[in-house]
Amino acid sequence: MITLKNGKKCWVVVKNAQRNKKFLWVEVEKINNGSDFIDAEHPRWDGGKFIKHGESEKR
């Protein structure tokens, strides 16, 4: 589970992950919309509120 920039938590399918000293950077392939997993680039997740496909987010 990751925390998005807007503070919401959600489950994701991770494509790539890279750890440094403080953070785990992940590349998201699919994101959970509360009931099922949809592609991260799905239009419902646009608007900067959620991670877009290939964008990194710190955990």
How does DSSP classify residue 36? S
Q: Are 28 and 39 in contact (CB under 8 A)?
A: no
C-alpha dihedral, 16 to 5 to 9 to 41, nearest 10°:
-50
For residue range 9-56, what is the model confidence (pLDDT) as tens digits? 778 787 777 777 777 777 777 777 677 777 666 555 444 444 444 555
Number of domains in the chain: 1
Q: What's the pTM value of the predicted model, to 2 decimals?
A: 0.41
Domain that holds residue 37: 2-58
